[in-house]
A and B are shown apart, each in its own frame.
Chain A
Amino acid sequence: MKNALLRACLIVVVGLSLPLSVHASQKDDIAELKQTLEQIKHQYESRITDLEKRIQAAEENAINAETKAQTAERKAAHAEKKVTVNRGDNAFNPAISLIVQGSASSYSQDPEAWYLPGFQTGGEAGLKSEGLSLTETELTASANVDNWFFAQATIGMHEHHGSTELDIEEAFVDTLSLPAGLGMRFGRFYTETGYINASHSHAWDFADAPLVSQAFLGKQYRDDGLRLSWIAPTDTFVEAGTEALRGERFPASGNGSKFVGDAQNYFLRLGNDLGSSHSFRIGLSHLRTNPVNRAGGDAHGHDEHTETQSLGFSGNSNLSIADLIWKWAPEGDMTHRNLTLQGEYFHRDEDGSVTLTEGTEGALFDYNGAQRGFYLQGVYQFIPSWRLGIRYDRLWSDNSLSVLSNTTGENDNEVTAETGLLSDYKPERWTAMVDWSPSEFSRLRLQYALDESRPEKDNQVQLQYIMTLGAHGTHRY
């Protein structure tokens, strides 16, 4: 604008200064004049632009200086308070937490004589002891080892037949910096078979394990091994992984001396948010094991025999699991109200032979097992700190046994019945619980179960406490 005005003035001034006789002059003169005019115009134009540029720069500098001065002033005032960094001799110590758990349990049937008709139970399957007991104390230490590895170890302490047992529950290393969404875990860990198996008992929503975990995994399956998994670079969570496991513990019980182990697990998960209030995760997993004389002698539960009887399974055992978690919280705010639905379906095929040993005598069977089970549970937090939960468990078995040899002296039908593997009975259980968590670090729980996992009805009442000392626990999904 300024520019245009100046230019107009210039033209007028130059124009007026020209002699009026211009029309009479030679064409050359006019051309020359025009040229001079152009030159003058050009010179002034460039000078004006120069001036404008300088004014603009000066203005900018002034603003910048002001902003800078203000910023500097504020920063100086603000920086007087020091930035503190957490330092100290113990700053590099791992995060340590101690979990103290105990319960009071009451049963209307004998918990020692517990069994599951149609299933060979093993591992740590069973009920908590009756009365008051300190069920388990867990010490966990974890830290980033360096920028490549994270490690965690959990030592469990519990009483067994009057003496305290120390048990390395988990001790594993996770990689942190593999490319392309790959991750490895090696050491001893709870395998990714289904959903609940991978979480510690103090994080469960009920005081005991689902029947499927008791029947198929010996309460909880953990093993020494290696996991490789991959997370897809998508907005929907997709994870696929495989585990190579030593395979000596129930339900594997195979030949652990193989270089890459004797049990393999494969898993696939998918999860996402649906709106701001809902989220879910679905998973499939498949565990392949080759048990050799897998023990688990308490299968039958006939008191007079359990001392001397033992059951062994050899063959192939393939377990497939489908799991689903669904969580709801209004606008995703879990503090006040939230609901979690969780369910898992187990299906196992077993093929091989079963031996029943009674002292020096025994029987050998050809065995073909087909077992299924599921549980479904819902936990609702209705006000802060208080939750209600309900769970339903169910198992089926359809096994076939045929006697190959029998030296027990009893007839074949009797011996077959004694394995406890042939059963039309379908174990089931209803459980209800209420728990109160005054803070994130403590939880008290009251639980009632109507347990019909045996043909005899069992009324089970449990009071449980879970206390977390030390490092903040993680909010696992």
Chain B
Amino acid sequence: MYRTHLFLLFAVLLISSSNASAAIAVFTCEPEWKALAEEIGGDKVTAFTATTAKQDPHHIQARPSLIAKLRRADLLICSGAGLEEGWLPLLLRRARNPNVQSGQPGHLMAAEHVPLLEIPTRLDRSEGDIHSQGNPHIHLDPRNLQRLAEVTAERMAHLDPGNTVHYQARLRDFERRWNNALTGWEHDSEVLHGRSAIVHHMEWIYLLDWLGMERLAALEPKPGLPPSARHLKRLKTLLEKQSALAIIRSTRADQRPSDWLAAQSGAPVVVLPYTVGATEESGDLFRLFEEIIKQLAAQPR
């Protein structure tokens, strides 16, 4: 009796595993890559994201649910450049899925396909939470997403050659729409060119680089370290001499340091969605950048 139950359990498990191979199962580390995978894959993929816009991709644990998900994935898409170094290597070992191990076509690290900014010249942990390969928050430059769309389509076609036409067509469609949107954003953000901003964390550098803006300073004295009172006072003095368009923080960040500095200096605070799903208005990649540009361009000059 007991044995029959066990046998049935195994049978169910096996059947459920064979069903799952109908579409490419994409495991993404962050919501932006899930959104991109869905843009390119459409109904031929099922995408899952390990983190939500409300979580910090640095501080995630290799939870059992993530191991189970990665175990069955065909394609892994993550930012890379050390953003997930605390949990992804362990997750890969625990899930022991040959399809997504480093070096396989199912292993896609976005940062390996785009030029990185802020590659540290001095590697020392006293510099805070720095990443040796450069700043990993690459998705905030829409030109990087364009590049990654190509790579994603290539990988999907490689893993599922029968649907190559489908992925190619969706890629062309995405590129067309993305280009049109990009032209619009670049037009709307011309006024921001040459302006400077204060940021909470170092995550905005790719956005500022794309918009031709400068980062005047960061609220965090060192990457990943919480803003200190002394550092904030220094920034206040800085803002007396130089002007900033805005103090940028993400929806996740602690609001007190930026609010304090805003009250002291008069520079406005802009709360921007860091990734897809951070606000109601940023439900997909297009709306994410629309929202960011709208917020920034609306700042008084």
Contact of B102 among A71, A144, A183, A332 (CB under 8 A): A144
**Is A112 part of the contact surface with B, judged by Cβ < 8 Å?**
no
**Is A67 part of the contact surface with B, judged by Cβ < 8 Å?**
yes
Interface pair B68/A235, CB less than 8 Å apart: yes
**Is B238 part of the contact surface with A, judged by Cβ < 8 Å?**
no
Contact of B133 among A86, A175, A183 (CB under 8 A): A86
Interface pair A271/B65, CB less than 8 Å apart: yes
Interface string of B104-126 (1 = CB under 8 A from A): 10000000111110010000010
**Given the contacts A70-B179, A147-B101, A177-B96, A234 and B68 also touching, CB distance less than 8 Å:** yes
**Given the contacts A74-B182, A237-B64, A83 and B112 also touching, CB distance less than 8 Å:** yes
**Given the contacts A175-B96, A234-B68, A272-B64, A332 and B59 also touching, CB distance less than 8 Å:** no
Across the interface, name the chain A residue whose C-beta is closest to B95.
A231
Interface pick from B86-94, B159-167, B286-294: B86-94
**Is A7 part of the contact surface with B, judged by Cβ < 8 Å?**
no
**Given the contacts A67-B176, A70-B183, A271-B65, A384 and B86 also touching, CB distance less than 8 Å:** no
Interface string of B267-281 (1 = CB under 8 A from A): 000000000000000
**Is B16 part of the contact surface with A, judged by Cβ < 8 Å?**
yes
CA distance A271 to B71 in the complex (A): 14
Q: Which residues of B contact A475 (CB under 8 A)?
A: 59-62, 86-87, 90
Minimum CB–CB distance for A338 against chain B, Å: 9
**Given the contacts A271-B63, A279-B63, A177 and B86 also touching, CB distance less than 8 Å:** no
Q: Which residues of A contact B51 (CB under 8 A)?
A: 332
Interface string of A49-75 (1 = CB under 8 A from B): 000000000000001100100110011
Across the interface, name the chain B residue whose C-beta is closest to A470.
B125
**Is B236 part of the contact surface with A, judged by Cβ < 8 Å?**
no
Interface pair A332/B64, CB less than 8 Å apart: no
Minimum CB–CB distance for B135 against chain A, Å: 12
Contact of B146 among A75, A237, A333, A474 (CB under 8 A): A75
**Is A424 part of the contact surface with B, judged by Cβ < 8 Å?**
no
Size of the chain B interface, CB-CB below 8 angstroms:
64
Give residues of chain A (241-288) contacting chain B, Cβ–Cβ below 8 Å.
269-273, 276, 279-281
Across the interface, name the chain B residue whose C-beta is closest to A442.
B125
Size of the chain A interface, CB-CB below 8 angstroms:
61
**Is A417 part of the contact surface with B, judged by Cβ < 8 Å?**
no
**Given the contacts A147-B103, A177-B98, A474-B89, A63 and B115 also touching, CB distance less than 8 Å:** no
CA distance A273 to B51 in the complex (A): 12
CA distance A79 to B115 in the complex (A): 7
Q: Which residues of B contact A272 (CB under 8 A)?
A: 64-65, 68
Contact of B61 among A85, A177, A238, A477 (CB under 8 A): A477
**Is B175 part of the contact surface with A, judged by Cβ < 8 Å?**
yes
**Is A422 part of the contact surface with B, judged by Cβ < 8 Å?**
no
CA distance A234 to B69 in the complex (A): 8
Across the interface, name the chain A residue whose C-beta is closest to B10.
A232
Contact of B98 among A179, A235, A239, A472 (CB under 8 A): A179
Interface pair B68/A74, CB less than 8 Å apart: no
CA distance A81 to B179 in the complex (A): 20
Give residues of chain A (449-476) contacting chain B, Cβ–Cβ below 8 Å.
472-476
**Given the contacts A63-B176, A74-B182, A233-B72, A477 and B59 also touching, CB distance less than 8 Å:** no
**Is B266 part of the contact surface with A, judged by Cβ < 8 Å?**
no
Q: Which residues of B contact A183 (CB under 8 A)?
A: 96
Contact of B179 among A71, A83, A86 (CB under 8 A): A71
Interface string of A157-184 (1 = CB under 8 A from B): 0000000000000000011111101110
Interface pair B115/A81, CB less than 8 Å apart: yes
**Is A78 part of the contact surface with B, judged by Cβ < 8 Å?**
yes
**Given the contacts A231-B95, A331-B52, A71 and B103 also touching, CB distance less than 8 Å:** no
**Is A236 part of the contact surface with B, judged by Cβ < 8 Å?**
yes
Interface pair A234/B60, CB less than 8 Å apart: no
Minimum CB–CB distance for B97 against chain A, Å: 8
**Is A308 part of the contact surface with B, judged by Cβ < 8 Å?**
no
**Given the contacts A331-B52, A475-B60, A84 and B119 also touching, CB distance less than 8 Å:** yes
Contact of B101 among A83, A176, A273, A276 (CB under 8 A): A176
Across the interface, name the chain B residue whose C-beta is closest to A177.
B98
Interface pair B98/A178, CB less than 8 Å apart: yes
Minimum CB–CB distance for B243 against chain A, Å: 28
Contact of B93 among A74, A174, A236, A472 (CB under 8 A): A174
Interface pair A234/B16, CB less than 8 Å apart: yes
Interface pair A335/B96, CB less than 8 Å apart: no
**Given the contacts A78-B143, A439-B125, A237 and B115 also touching, CB distance less than 8 Å:** no
**Is B226 part of the contact surface with A, judged by Cβ < 8 Å?**
yes
**Given the contacts A81-B115, A331-B54, A279 and B65 also touching, CB distance less than 8 Å:** yes
Instruction: List the 9 closest A-B pairs by CB distance, nearest first.
Output: A271-B64, A237-B64, A81-B115, A233-B17, A177-B98, A237-B68, A474-B90, A331-B54, A183-B96
Beyond the given A84-B134, A176-B96, please list 14 additional residue pairs across the A-B interface where CB-CB is below 8 A: A78-B143, A84-B133, A85-B112, A176-B93, A177-B98, A178-B96, A232-B68, A233-B13, A271-B68, A273-B63, A279-B63, A279-B65, A334-B55, A477-B64
A-B contacts, 14 of them at CB < 8 A, read: A67-B172, A74-B182, A79-B115, A84-B133, A178-B96, A178-B98, A235-B69, A269-B64, A276-B52, A327-B61, A334-B61, A335-B59, A440-B129, A474-B90
